[in-house]
Amino acid sequence: MRTAFKVLGPLEVWRAGAPVPVPAGRARVLLASLLLRANETVSVDTLVERLWDGAPPSPHRARATLQMVMTRLRQALGDVNVVRTTPGGYVADVGPGELDLHVFRALAEQGRFADALALYRGEPLSDVRSDALHAEEVEPLLEERLTVLERRIDADLDAGRSAELVAELRALTTRHPLRERFWGQLMLALSRSGRQADALATYRSVTRLLDEELGVPPGPELREVHQSVLTGAPHAPAWPLPRQLPPDIADFVGREDLHRDVTAVFSPASATAVPIAVITGPPGSGKSALTVHIAHRLSDRFPDGQLFVRLGDGTHRPRDTGEVLAELLTGVGVGLASIPEDVEARAAAFRSRIAGRAVLLVLDGAADVAQVRLLLPGGARCAVLVSSRRHLTGLPGSRVLRLGPLDHGDALRLLSGIIGADRVHREREAADAVVEATGGLPLALRIVGARLATRPSLPLNALAVRLSDERRRLDELSTADMEVRAGFELSYAALDDHVAVAFRRLGLLGPVDFAAWSVSVLTDGDGERLVEHLVNANLLQETGVDATGEPRYRLHDLLAVYAAELVARDDPTENRDRLRRHAEALLLLADEAQHDTRFYVDMLPMRPVHVEEPALAHEAERLTRSGAAWLVSEQRQVVRAVEVAAAEGWPDIAADLADRASHLDLDVFIGSAGMARLHALSSASAHAAGDANLALRMEHHRLSEAAKDVVDEVLIEDFRKCAEGLEEIGDTLTLACHLATWAFYQSVFDGKPAVELAERAATLARGTGDDSVYLSALREHASMLAWSGRMSDALPLFEEAITLSRTQPDALSEAQVNHRISMYALRNGDLTLAAETSRRTLALLEGAQDLRATAYVVSHASRVDAALGNHDSAVKRAQRAYEIFTGLAEGIGSATAAANVGESHLAAGHPAEAVAFLEQAIPTHEGVGAAEALERMAETLVRARQALEPN
């Protein structure tokens, strides 16, 4: 008998193709309220509010009326009645495909947007009279429909149906004039139909409309569409629709009260504040499991996706907020090259990226308020669900929900789900005793349940007796570090030998997440099958799918300690060999991942690696298909592998892995200082092993990374010592690259052209036969000559560099040379050449998505504009460059841009703005080592103050 419930239009119930009448008035309100939250308990208080459309005359009368209406409804539904009573309320049990709202969401999830939209028969519940219901439930449904409509139009645009969409989008912008997404889609449809002028006119229209109606400019997405129309560049897909929740817990029980509380938090009266629910409780109370469970149940309310982040690193230290923000930004489609380095800038970029979207952000294991605050979205359509051992009461507008032990009934249900209801029923008294002994903590119950499940013949009474001894109970059930050892031993003892080996060797990795290939390398076995056995034995947790599409797994912190204890008893030589093979496997994958990374001409060419790993013979290419995605997934494993390799005395592995991590832009996640630390560890390991060549090579890398943060006397002296060492051992190639880098930072530090250093670098590089190193050194030599006033000597070298740069695989090389020509042409008074090469540089960088390079070029372009008298453009470009550098925490570039901001304000006739800016900028940049930029700022500040003095 086919039953159908319909809420996407007038309320309808169908049975076997025939309509089932539903009484008018409150019965329709009651059924609609239950269907909109189908399969969830709706509280009596909520239903009373709906029936009375506000406050009832008295609680007693309200409940009596509710019961009467419920009786009438059930009688009317007859055979298709799906309403049942639950503790505290009622629930409508609706099967798959029976409710049109569920079908709508399922079709939208599958990308069948047109089919989903066809289910709407008008305004939802148009024949149900309830102001409260329409305000709280129907309005979000209408917004959900518009979101799906936007996605359908995006799909049509991608399919090339632009021209036929124009009329529909014009009608939509008329009906929804303040919905910027429709305006952007209209602009794209017009532009792709060859009507660029109409697209730009549309942008002007919506700009005026937003200004007149709201007093605001267009948002970032609309501005991006406008820019793509202007430049003719393709507009990137608007949204990647992240679905990052880990798998739900199949045997989850209880906690309905907390689910209702979280649902209430996420249905706030406020239209501006982002709702935040914090689930807190003692260790072992099941915070993470409950958080994931609730997130899955509420996922339909957030059609733009769900983001999930673990905020602990498994060592009781909170994860770095900048690293977390980088992970979130990649999850919402931001490329690695576009991620700022500064944590505040990353937070702002994340808020901007999800602005206006309905996204659920799940933060698991938060350490404190400070760790969470920068991760919060800015819009009320998003919601944040946090789990933490702490209350986190300092989060504005959040509601903290305390998670206690399970009550006896739910605890018994959990135990039954693990070992079987029949077994619990047969030994009910013993089962009750076991539940009482665990205190209702889910972790303790799962430990006990896992032990019983591996021993189906073990009487529950036997374990109950052991637990009844209070002197032994903590040893059996404690959830703190070493105390759970006895609880893990029975589970471990039930493993087959080859699975037990896999479990022990995972102790070599520590409590970090990993993919199945790691298990294959550690055991020479089938990693997927071994992982499956460990997951089935409750000794391994699934944590979701990584950026490459690989499932990820993790040992619980306590299990990781236990596994490490076990593996420490094995042959230490074998353990060390396995650790080395795992580090080599990461090196092999990192080398494979280089295929889609940008070529950097200023970086020392990498040493070739010769690693063979049979376990990865057929996996490496698939795992590293996207180098950026692989790095996102394995960044913590890479960092740990460099640390382990350096400590174990494998400097070649540490150095080569750190080198490839640099080329893969690992510094985006761990910062320049973090990258410099890895190179320092590699250098120290090589030095201890007696490999002076490798030690100095890695010292060069360390200095190159450290200089991005600050250049001081110590760093300059270290550059000199490294150069002496390289010369002494005769490593000409590394020395040439090092001298060119030193020349650049030496000139930044003291504000003088380092001509001799650069000339020596170019001479050495020319003899190596390596074009990329020679190009880098040649560009520096020409730059230093031009800086010293010898532009006529520099120009032939610049021309040679231009020719050589065009043989390189990346346009950035040619852009760098043109940028230097423009810089020194301006310095030497050749404004025509400066302007021409500045324009050429900007053109070469279009679409490069390299923030650092863009910032340097735009910063200089502001000076060219100022020299040409284009003062307004000069101010805007200088400020843009300064903002980018500040976001990247690039001290040297930031200082130069700051000097440009001050000078351009003064040249534009804004001395007050110049004074206000420079008085803050000068103290900020005094320690970064940019002497010339600081001199320019100081001089500009004096002249600006003089301009403000009365005559």
Q: What CATH number is given to the structural domain containing 369?
A: 3.40.50.300
**Claim to verify: residue 874 and residue 734 sit in the same structural domain:** yes
How many domains does the chain fold into?
A: 5
Listed residues 402, 430, 452: the one ending a domain: 402
In whole angstroms, give the CA distance from residue 870 to residue 907: 10
Q: What's the pLDDT at 5?
A: 93
What is the DSSP-derived secondary structure letter of residue 509? T
Q: Residue 58: give the domain boundaries.
A: 3-140
Residue 432 has pLDDT above 60, yes or no: yes
Within a domain: residue 580? Answer: no
Q: 557 exposed, middle or buried (CB, 10 Å; 0-12, 13-18, 19+)?
A: middle
741-755 per-position pLDDT tens digit? 999 889 888 888 999
Least confident of 154-158, 326-330, 877-881: 154-158
What are the pLDDT digits (tens) for 757-771? 999 999 999 999 888
Q: Are residues 208 and 306 in the same domain?
A: no
Q: What is the pLDDT of residue 471?
A: 42
User: What is the CATH classification number for the domain harbouring 913?
Assistant: 1.25.40.10
Q: How far apart are CA 794 and CA 797, in angstroms?
A: 5
**Highest mean pLDDT, choosing among 678-682, 825-829, 888-892:** 678-682
Query: What pLDDT is attached to residue 599?
Result: 54
Distance, CA of 825 to CA of 821 (rounded, Å)? 6
Q: Confirm whether 862 is domain-assigned.
A: yes
Same domain, 278 and 193: no
Give SS3 for 473: helix
Looking at the domain assignment, is residue 485 inside a domain?
yes
User: Is 475 a domain residue?
Assistant: yes
Q: Tell me: do 378 and 413 sit in the same domain.
A: no
- Secondary structure of 560-592 in HEC code, one letter for each residue: HHHHHHHHCCCCHHHHHHHHHHHHHHHHHHHHH
Count of alpha carbons within 13 angstroms of residue 871, beta-carbon side: 9
Question: In terms of domains, do 870 and 773 share one?
Answer: yes
Q: State residue 506's pLDDT score.
A: 94
Q: Place 723 in a pLDDT band, splitting at 50, 70 and 90.
A: very high
Of residues 665 and 656, the one with the higher pLDDT is 656
Q: Which of 263-272, 398-407, 635-644 has the lowest mean pLDDT?
A: 263-272
**Could you read off the pLDDT of 98-138 as tens digits, one per residue?**
999 988 887 876 778 889 899 999 889 988 888 888 877 88
Residues 329 and 452 in one domain: no
208 occurs within a structural domain: yes
Q: Is the pLDDT reported for residue 781 higher than 60? A: yes
Q: What is the mean pLDDT of residues 492-516?
A: 88
Q: Check pLDDT > 50 for residue 478.
A: no
Tell me the whole-structure pTM to 2 decimals: 0.62
Does 420 lie in the same domain as 377? no
**Contact by Cβ (8 Å): 414, 251:** yes
My answer on whether 102 and 27 are in the same domain is: yes
Evaluate whether residue 626 is within a structural domain: no
| pLDDT band at residue 353 using 50, 70 and 90 as cut-offs | confident
Distance CA 836, CA 833 (A): 5
- Residue 722 confidence class, pLDDT cut points 50, 70, 90: very high
| CA distance linking residue 651 with residue 695, whole number of Å | 9
**Residue pLDDT, tens place only, 591-600:** 888 775 555 6
- CATH label of the domain that carries residue 13: 1.10.10.10
Task: Report pLDDT for 99.
Answer: 92
| Amino acid at residue number 350 | F
Question: Is 50 exceeded by the pLDDT of residue 473?
Answer: no
Q: Alpha carbon 654 to chain centroid distance?
A: 27
487 lies in a domain? yes
Q: How confident is the model at residue 69 (pLDDT cuts 50, 70, 90)?
A: confident
CA distances from 879 to 40, 384, 781, 858, 873 (A): 53, 34, 30, 9, 10
Give burial (CB, 10 Å; 0-12/13-18/19+) of 473.
middle
C-beta neighbour count of 864 within 10 angstroms: 23
Report residue 237's pLDDT band, with 50, 70 and 90 as the boundaries. very low
Within a domain: residue 911? yes
pLDDT digits (tens, 9 = 90+) for 70-84: 888 888 888 889 998
Domain boundary among 337, 367, 402: 402
- Spatial distance between the Cα atoms of 400 and 394, rounded to a whole number of angstroms: 10
- Helix axes 732-750 and 755-768, enclosed angle (nearest 10): 160
pLDDT attached to residue 236: 53
Q: What phi and psi, each to the nearest 5 degrees, are found at residue 5?
A: -120, 135
Residues 177 and 311 in one domain: no
Which is more confidently placed, 240 or 722?
722
User: What is the rounded CA–CA span in Å between residue 402 and residue 390?
Assistant: 10
More reliable by pLDDT, 833 or 622: 833
Give the pLDDT confidence score for residue 315 in this predicted structure: 47
Highest mean pLDDT of the ranges 169-178, 487-496, 743-752, 849-858? 169-178
193 and 126 in a common domain: no
User: pLDDT tens across 539-585, in order?
Assistant: 787 877 787 788 888 886 657 767 887 898 999 999 999 999 999 99
Q: What is the pLDDT of residue 848?
A: 63
| Residue that terminates a domain, selected from 402, 429, 451 | 402
Strands 18-19 and 360-366, how do they pair? Answer: unpaired
Strand, coil or helix: 642: helix
Q: Do both 910 and 767 map to the same domain?
A: yes
Helix (H, G, I), strand (E, B) or coil at 708: coil
The answer to whether the beta carbons of residues 442 and 448 sit under 8 Å apart is no
Percent of the chain at pLDDT above 70? Answer: 91
Average pLDDT, the chain: 83
- Quick check: 188 and 225 in contact, CB under 8 A? yes
Same domain, 75 and 181: no
The span from the CA of 611 to the CA of 58, in Å, is 78
Count Cβ neighbours within 10 Å for each residue of 651-663 and write b for 16 or more, e otherwise: bbbbbbbbbbbbb
The H-or-E segment that residue 881 falls in is helix 871-888
Res 163 pLDDT > 70: yes
